Structure 1
Amino acid sequence: MSGMQFWLTPDGGGKRLRLPVNPAVLSVKMAQGYQDISVVALGERTVFGEAGLSEFAIASFFPRDYHPGYCEHMELEPPWRCVQLVEGWMRTRKPVTLDITGTAVEGVPATIRSFSYEERAGSPGDLYYELALKQFRPVQAEPAAEQQERRNGARTPPATYVVAPGDSLWKIAQRIWGNGDRWRELHAANQAAIGKDPNRLQVGLQLKVPT
């Protein structure tokens, strides 16, 4: 026994499967997201993106009988029962969790991309299989409140605003709220500093932004 354990756990719980025979070779493919762009006068340049999804390829077999020379544990599931488990997980269209103890591959959610198996002459009852998995990364849905805020054009305004050259209350309201017609709210909140004439803004004046 090698001491390394290969586990597959279905999403949401359920019966786990520990591979009875560790694969002779575990293939792991990692990718990094890159984008090559062409910049005028500079030529082609590379932009780094997020890491891609890792891919895992496992090839081994489900033995009919326990053998101390290659089996990692004695609690063997019947080979066809192992096949049914894997095929059942694929039908649920949900990820599984891949754990390979003693490695960096622990608690990795993955989708089963392909699964093939066969019975070979000379090994009656044993099922040889190839299993391909790919790391699972779900789409993060935008919360409903944020969706509504984005549709409404709502913005989170700053607490204060410093008047810049060329500013008017309408321009400032448009910049911080996306609605220039709210300039009167700015004037009302800062009338003591601005004065009665909303058009007389002093550059550098710090305005309070009402909430």
Structure 2
Amino acid sequence: MSKELWLTFDNGIETLQLPVNPPELSVGQGSQNDSTDVFNLGEVTILQKPKAMTFGFECFFPLMPGPYLNVTDGQLKEPAYYVEVINKWRASYKPIRFIVTETEINYLCSIEEFSYSERAGDVGTLYYSLSLKEYKVVTPRVLKDVNGVLVYETKPTRPGAI
């Protein structure tokens, strides 16, 4: 069974399987490490949390079915459909989920770049490039004043807890 690449939106309510697997998928993760010079020791590195994961690939949305499809002929949509869906999700300012089956890749992501073009000799097929970046959900903390000191307000761990 071959791997499948999926994009989902709104907690899986909308799904999109990419019809053709890209020949290459790049995965990256940098670091935010700092370094400083210490007298009589030299440069030292201060380890920090890693940066968000990045994913990038190039492929195509075919106009006609062929042996390269990772979906059945009946599941193949018009190339413009894929572009419309990705652009709609991107314009929503909400993250999507990127999943590659048979791997550990299953991340909430922002669509960083999406571009497409049509090539001479292959009219109707759209070639695209997609760049995604890991999205981390941020929950704001509530501060409360306790005797002039701001502290994080903690929520009960179970219903009815005080």
With the shorter chain as reference, the TM-score category is 0.7 to 0.9
Match of residue 88 from structure 2: 88
Corresponding position: 1:102 with 2:96: no
State the shift of 1:122 in Å: 1.4
Match of residue 113 from structure 1: 112
Is the radius of gyration larger for structure 1 or structure 2? 1
1:32 counterpart SS class: coil
1:75-94: CA deviations, max 9, x gaps?
01211010000000110011
Give the structure-1-normalised TM-score: 0.66
Backbone CA RMSD of aligned residues: 1.8
1:54-89: CA deviations, max 9, x gaps?
11111110111221x100111012110100000001
The whole-number CA distance in structure 2 between the counterparts of 1:94 and 1:33 is: 25
Match of residue 29 from structure 2: 30
Match of residue 156 from structure 2: none
Corresponding position: 1:153 with 2:153: no
Match of residue 73 from structure 1: 71
**Of the two structures, which has the highest relative contact order with CA contacts closer than 8 Å and spacing of 6 or more?**
2
| Partner AA of 2:68 in structure 1 | Y
Give the structure-2-normalised TM-score: 0.84
The whole-number CA distance in structure 1 between the counterparts of 2:149 and 2:124 is: 65
1:133-154: CA deviations, max 9, x gaps?
0111133311x2xx11479316
The whole-number CA distance in structure 2 between the counterparts of 1:30 and 1:78 is: 34
| Partner AA of 1:22 in structure 2 | N
State the shift of 1:38 in Å: 2.5
The whole-number CA distance in structure 1 between the counterparts of 2:137 and 2:148 is: 27
| Partner AA of 1:87 in structure 2 | N
State the shift of 1:11 in Å: 3.0
Inter-CA distance 38–18: structure 2 relative to 1 (3 Å threshold): same
Specify which structure has the higher proportion of helix: 1
Match of residue 125 from structure 2: 126
The whole-number CA distance in structure 2 between the counterparts of 1:150 and 1:133 is: 42
1:16 counterpart SS class: strand
Give 5+ residue unaligned stretches, structure 2. 152-162
List structure 1 segments (4+ residues) > 4 angstroms apart after TM superposition. none
Pairing 1:129-144 to 2, within 5 Å after superposition: 129-142=128-141, 144=142
State the shift of 1:25 in Å: 0.6
2:32 counterpart SS class: strand
